[in-house]
Structure 1
């Protein structure tokens, strides 16, 4: 059972904790608890002084974050910019300032105000909102540290960081070049830190449950999601052999990186990459992949400057299209709402994960959607662009979205602005689309979103340790839907790909190929492993 310790040998001191793998790998080193309390804040008797002190601390925390942003890139920069935007939002600080006027100390007022915000995020049914709670805890701690002029203690080289959750700034401030890992009693495999860990190859396990307060060397198996404390004898030998085998597979996989992906029986498979930010392509050689199977556009929304204008979006899309050098780039229209809140765009809902999100929100806000459409139409003239709509549940949504593309294309033609109509496809992530793909036969292509499809089919969140075993793309019910979509696409000449996490999981790839898929899109860090797994498959 997840989060419960089990004795793994006759040695009373040897414990195994089981959680969820958030970033595969192995690490051994001293445990380092990073959730030490801040230094004590010395309050004044004056509300005016407390107000200015809190404002100064917020300014200092903002300055520290700005320095980290300057040295970060891609998703790391985006998440830090989110924190900057939150710190600049008066709605976050006003409750604390009001409490100070009523006699509260600056640290107490700030902690209480943030606690209410954090509780709201943690109570959400959606994994993205719960993951955002870590950002808010980070913001809270950054300001408290500024109030007390205290700095976080650095972890020793190669340490395994433990705590309930870890803040993005803590991860980015840690030197991972000498090894180490992360073992969390709570946390989320969908968190920003988990994404960073996967991109940088830092082993990470979440959902381990309460961990004992003890020192010593720990063994972190983030391939299978376990933490061993007080290990000895056979357990250490097994850990070492598993770690060596994992490293060996990683090294062997590099041999496949620059080769076309082909199964053991000679069947070619297209392998594309998923990107979350245009900066991601700076570290990817286009020769190693078949294009971009998923480019998210949420990175453009929710930044401190507000919603992006047409030219900002056009430049971002153009950069990736030119990098791809003629290979296809599939850009997903903004998947905001529900699990991805965007100030000034999304709405507050009781059950946001099943609410006004994805294409539903875009169609409800055509003023914002049309701006993105124009940018995409203009960018299409610069490369091999394909556009897909997220969260399609009924054919009317696809028809309304394509009609808007046609309207904006006519307007650009009338204005004499260069553009091109790209193929328009859909994400197959809502069960209704997977069960009845024939209703969407007008779509230019299908892209299966395995993360959401699996969660919806199994009614099990992928970041919930208690139901993690249910959230598997290899479940017969999920595979049956994937196979049905792949078969329909093949019989009606509609290209079908898969762009969820399962596409880069070596253990899932044989099942996906057997289901009929021949086009996978994976995160760049999984590219070599995915190609190696394909080479060993018999499909």
Structure 2
């Protein structure tokens, strides 16, 4: 029996349910001291070798991970080849500073600037910089990467958890994860949702927790209960088993339509982030594809028309007669793409991203629209194409004009094509307030950015995570307004952000009038189950 006083620590819920197990603390993973050579040329050579080793390690990790993880880790690989970052460090080393000291000092300054900037994209990347700093220092010191051995069934507690540190965990042995930093929309949170890991972030007071102490992590409530008594453990185990049973039941009924308790039919679509998921995902669990993120196609630069068409056709075939929605390139913000996005923007989340970037790069945009128009000719039901980050109707009309030009050009070339249905994402508050002014074939609410912009809370800044609340009345009001605008115009409205993947929010979204959800594949069954238990009041 532990002599530690029971206590409950509060944080921000991200995903999952109840986990029970001993606490396993992840250390700061500081790198040991290195003996400098004292020779600038030798230090420069060591620095170059360390950068090369770090790049090779990242490339190996990228090859072993899925597209979602790859997009997140790609930033580190890009930085290793950034002359604006590397060349000043080389000059410092030539002046007599040891390679590890030059790297650590420069990276610490960058990390500090990122975290103190107040800019969403920089805050989002501070952990990536810390991760890269440690990776290169290990290569310089000759230390091997530490294994991420976790006791079976443990609850991992960390101050900050970087994406690669998360990916290094043996997730099959992890009961749950709690972090002091982080936010519900951080890169680690995105990975946890995709992998079904119980996660709570922003846990206050977790720094002093002892290794091996029994704990209960409630990822639905956002709490970490330390040293619970025997009776409390028994209650938690009952709740955990009931939650597991509900999830198993939901999976058994995943292929059945979603209908509320008062008889209202609801569509549940699926989000596609990674082409690999098509090999294991049964299309029968969903009513179609509500969001296809196409950024993975651009990870190595701008793909040609044939490469894009090949994937679009594969996706349409997988859907087996169900509706498919594909989003045009949503680069910028926290998703830079070398050679396509604009470097050095002061605030990329409020800069040239989404449709703004597409209109600024018509060569890239036209190639994608041509591939989509050709794919539309193969779709058994009309293909839907949605445009991201739209603020005013003129942007959607500009995109429509370019699409029409490319369709006409394809027809003139004798290439089979069709005009897809063009819709708009609603993620900018201005668009939500004026949705009725858009001549859109459909609306798709991007709740992640909508929450960020409405609450002025950076998606990956743990200091304001509590403010980035999807249940903020202003967020719900804009969702309801968009749904009402769609109903008045006879236009379908779906929601494809994280809110649609949260079973606990299903009832709230139904009351806001939403009837089309687009969820992460791992959450489709649970969202359907939550919808079946909810009531809309439509039966009076």
TM-score over 0.5 (shorter chain): yes
Distance 2:444 2:402 in 1: 21
SS at match of 1:508: helix
Deviations 1:498-520 (A, max 9, x none): 11111122221112112222111
What residue is the counterpart of 1:48 in the other structure? 41
Distance 2:435 2:61 in 1: 46
SS at match of 1:155: coil
- Provide the TM-score with structure 1 as the length reference: 0.91
Tell me which of 60, 72, 91 is aligned to 1:67: 60
Distance 2:151 2:269 in 1: 35
SS at match of 1:265: coil
Tell me which of 190, 194, 200 is aligned to 2:195: 200
1:47 deviates by: 1.1
SS at match of 2:200: strand
1:331 deviates by: 1.1
What residue is the counterpart of 2:76 in the other structure? 83
Contact 1:257 1:288 in 2 (8 A): yes
- The correspondence of residues 161-240 of structure 1 with structure 2, limited to 5 A, is 161-210=156-205, 211-212=207-208, 214-217=210-213, 218-240=215-237
Distance 1:103 1:24 in 2: 51
Contact 1:454 1:478 in 2 (8 A): yes
What residue is the counterpart of 1:351 in the other structure? 347
1:56 deviates by: 1.4
Q: CA, structure 1 residues 90+425, in 2 after alignment: closer, same or farther (shift >3 Å)?
A: same
- The correspondence of residues 325-340 of structure 1 with structure 2, limited to 5 A, is 325-340=320-335
Aligned residues: 527
Unmatched runs of 5 consecutive residues or more in structure 2? none
Distance 1:236 1:126 in 2: 42
- How large is the RMSD of aligned CA atoms in angstroms? 2.4
Deviations 1:423-458 (A, max 9, x none): 000011222222222211x21111112222233333
Tell me which of 353, 358, 362 is aligned to 2:358: 362
1:401 deviates by: 0.9
Contact 1:33 1:163 in 2 (8 A): yes
Unmatched runs of 5 consecutive residues or more in structure 1? 1-10
SS at match of 2:313: helix
1:400 deviates by: 0.8
Matched, 1:152 2:152: no
Q: CA, structure 1 residues 251+124, in 2 after alignment: closer, same or farther (shift >3 Å)?
A: farther
Matched, 1:449 2:446: yes
Tell me which of 409, 412, 418 is aligned to 1:411: 409
Distance 1:78 1:209 in 2: 30
SS at match of 2:535: coil
Contact 2:123 2:460 in 1 (8 A): no
1:149 deviates by: 2.2
Matched, 1:297 2:294: yes
Distance 1:140 1:318 in 2: 41
Q: CA, structure 1 residues 458+420, in 2 after alignment: closer, same or farther (shift >3 Å)?
A: same
1:179 deviates by: 2.9
SS at match of 2:326: strand
Distance 1:250 1:332 in 2: 30
Deviations 1:351-387 (A, max 9, x none): 3322222212221222322222222222222324211
Moved runs in structure 1, 4+ residues, more than 4 A? 461-470
1:234 deviates by: 4.7
